[in-house]
Amino acid sequence: MKSQFKLATVAAAMGLLSATSAQAVDWGGYFRTGPGATSKDSSRACYGLGGEGMKYRLGNECDFYGEFLLSQGFKADGVEYKAALMTNLYSNGTDTGAVDRGLSGQPATNQSLDHSKLGINQMYVEGKGYDIAPNTNFWIGKRFYGRADVHIVDTFFVNLSGVGAGADSMDVGGGKLAIAAFRSDSADSTKPGSRVNVDFSELVVNPGGKLRIVGTITKGDFTDGKNGFGLTAQHNQDNALGLGGTNILWVQYAQGSAGLNGNFGNLGANSGNKSYRIVESPGWQVGPFGGQGMVMFQHDKLDDGLGNTTNVKSVSVGGRGSYALTKNFKLVAEAAYVQKKPDDSDTQKLAKFTFAPTLATGPGFWNRPELRLYVTTAKWNNAANAASGANGLTGNADGKTKGTSYGAQAEIWF
């Protein structure tokens, strides 16, 4: 009943958005879906260590996910504005109506049979052309904001998204300035927090190279809340190595309740917490051969407030390449190695490889949709199992340190 109510509510909102004007409504989105299994027909497993940038996604996503955006632009007396609504559908399995059978293999009691989740990712209004600042874009609402990612690990190393208000596209010092304030109440009602981001981008620093600086200040508004601060430098390089490719470099620092990605971290974190991260991600397309790679190093210093500090060092190295045999058929492969070393604990290690014959609308690495068949194999150590809890890294409680998964997947953005 709750799911039906949510669906009806979102449908009504979409109807209102599209009915406000005779103008065309823009529609876009993203989704991935497909069946899969592991060897011997056990529950499908996916392989990665916890944390950002520590799971390579090709043939390694066990969920069902889609997001769908409706937006419409208007113009009134010289002011251009837009309303946007994005819904999303998520299930942690491949079937959105799957029965939760629990560890016993029998249907779980006192639970809904449908564990899919429907939500709203974005709902905001923005406008530009106001007489007080004609070239500035103002916005209020919930939105994806200021994001910069590495696709092969499905990680936004800068992600300022949230519920807030701001102004961007301001011409300052040869670049663009954006200022936004956010508030977090719903994720954990016992730990509300406030965040301010200052984002200075598009500053040309070398031929084909642009610099972006993002600053973050956070505050936890509760008894044991802590302040936080973060700073990111991002350099985007076009025509990298003279091959027409791209390269993105991030150098990041955060402390207290700020996250490395410029968002909230742990709002209850001690102010002695400190994290550092360096990420390098090249991308290329040379004839039929395209791809994306990543190297990441992260160092977290976790302070318990009693003078005790735990250091965690994480390393992630991997890449995905595609080679077009014809206009619409390409061979795609992805290989990666990740490790994590907490103080006084064994190093967690995992290696993963995927091979995926793929149909696409064109020969390029970024052409979508892609229709894939895949086989993924992975190997990890006992430390990775122990860090993942009683059920181990795969969640199947089988104690294994290697596995193979196979399946089919569609991925599209539009």
pLDDT tens profile 61-116: 998 899 999 999 999 999 999 999 999 999 887 665 544 434 334 444 444 444 57
Decide which of 244 and 26 is more confident: 26
Please report, rounded to a whole number, the percentage of residues in the chain having pLDDT higher than 70: 87
Q: What is the mean pLDDT of the chain?
A: 88
Inform me whether the pLDDT recorded for 133 exceeds 70: yes
DSSP letter (8 states) at residue 135: T
Do residues 94 and 36 touch, judged by C-beta distance below 8 A?
Answer: yes
More confident residue, 62 or 56: 56
Residue 132, helix vs strand vs coil: coil
Question: Per-residue pLDDT for 166 more than 60?
Answer: yes
Among 110-114, 174-178, 238-242, 309-313, which is the least confidently predicted range? 110-114
pLDDT for res 281: 98
The pLDDT tens digits of the residues spanning 405-414 come to: 999 999 999 9
Indicate the helix (H) or strand (E) that contains 8: helix 2-19
| Interval 252-280 mean pLDDT | 91
Model confidence at 4, pLDDT cuts 50, 70, 90, reads very low
| Confidence (pLDDT) at 344 | 85
Stretch 175-195: mean pLDDT, rounded?
Answer: 83
Tens digit of pLDDT for each residue in 271-299? Answer: 788 999 999 999 999 999 999 999 999 99
Closest CA to 330 of 377, 370, 294, 292: 370
pLDDT, residue 9, reads: 46
Q: Is the pLDDT of residue 369 over 60?
A: yes
Find the radius of gyration of the CA atoms of the chain. 23
What is the rounded average pLDDT of the residues 125-149?
Answer: 97
- Reported as a pLDDT band with limits 50, 70 and 90, residue 376 is very high
**Cα torsion 149, 155, 161, 166: sign:** negative
Q: Are 199 and 175 in contact (CB under 8 A)?
A: no
DSSP characters for 240-303? Answer: ETTTTEEEEEEEEEEEETB-TTSSB--TT--TT-EEEEEEEEEEEEETTEEEEEEEEEEEEEEE
338-360 residue pLDDT tens: 999 999 899 999 999 999 999 99
User: Is 90 exceeded by the pLDDT of residue 10?
Assistant: no
> Is pLDDT above 80 for 57?
yes
Structure tokens at 228: 């936080």
Span 361-390, average pLDDT: 95
Q: Tens of pLDDT along 385-405? A: 999 887 888 877 778 899 999
Q: What is the pLDDT of residue 189?
A: 53
CB-based contacts of 248, cutoff 8 Å, min separation 6? 148, 150, 234, 235, 236, 237, 279, 280, 281, 283
What pLDDT was estimated at residue 38? Answer: 85
* Residue 262, burial from CB neighbour count under 10 angstroms (0-12, 13-18, 19+): buried
User: In this model, does residue 192 exceed pLDDT 90?
Assistant: no
Name the 3-class secondary structure at 2: helix
Query: Given this model, what pLDDT does residue 72 score?
Result: 96
Q: Specify the long-range contacts of residues 20-24, CB closer than 8 Å, at least 24 apart.
A: 20/72, 20/83, 21/72, 21/74, 23/72, 23/73, 23/74, 24/72
* Backbone phi, psi, residue 277, to 5°: -150, 140
pLDDT at 23: 61
Tens-place pLDDT, residues 16-49: 444 444 467 899 999 999 998 887 656 788 999 9
